[in-house]
Amino acid sequence: MGSEGDRTMDLRSKIKRVPEFKGVVFWDITPLLKDKKAFGQCIEELADHFRGHDVRAVASNEARGFIIGAAVAHELGVGFIPIRKKGKLPPKVRSLSYAKEYESDVIEIRDDGIEPGDRILLVDDLLATGGTIRANAELVETLGGEVVGMGFLVELDYLNPRKQLGDKYEIHSLIRLETTNEF
């Protein structure tokens, strides 16, 4: 996409804080996605971090994760595996129910999406509490895949997601926010 010297953009300036969206602080990545240079920089930086990890495929959860994950997969020259909400994929699927911050959810992946031993990179737009990405990892691992890392555009340090995930996975986030009042 670009050369190392082109990576000068302040990515934080492309994230917008929405203070009261559905009762929480919402971090809007839409301005970043709209800016082709910022978006390209994010994809390249995430891909570059995991280039030496022998990644076979990238898996991401819908919806914004698809945008980031598919682009990272393309940049790495590997396939993309969608992880969907219940009922969105044709059978045969593997399902997993998990708890989110305020509710539970069910995600699914095709049974033939991952072969035993496949090295899978999980990518999402935002790491908040870690519940969704942990569920993604469990799905990959139940099919025999190996999670080689997790990449994010934004990580909400103030929610302590790494504590929830432990040190089992390599986590790389481009932007780490320490408070809800970061900008």
pLDDT digits (tens, 9 = 90+) for 148-183: 999 999 999 999 999 989 899 999 999 998 877 766
Tokens 């999980």, located at residue: 122
Catalytic member of 12, 64, 84, 176: 64
According to the model, what pLDDT value does residue 104 have? 82
pTM of the full structure: 0.89
The question of whether 64 is a catalytic residue gets the answer yes
pLDDT over 90 at 69, yes or no: yes
Domains and CATH numbers, the chain: 4-177 (3.40.50.2020)
pLDDT tens profile 82-102 = 999 998 888 899 999 988 766
Q: What is the dihedral of CA 178, 179, 181, 183, to 10 degrees?
A: 10
Given 7, 101, 115, 178, which residue is catalytic? 101
Cβ-based neighbour number of residue 124 at 10 Å: 24
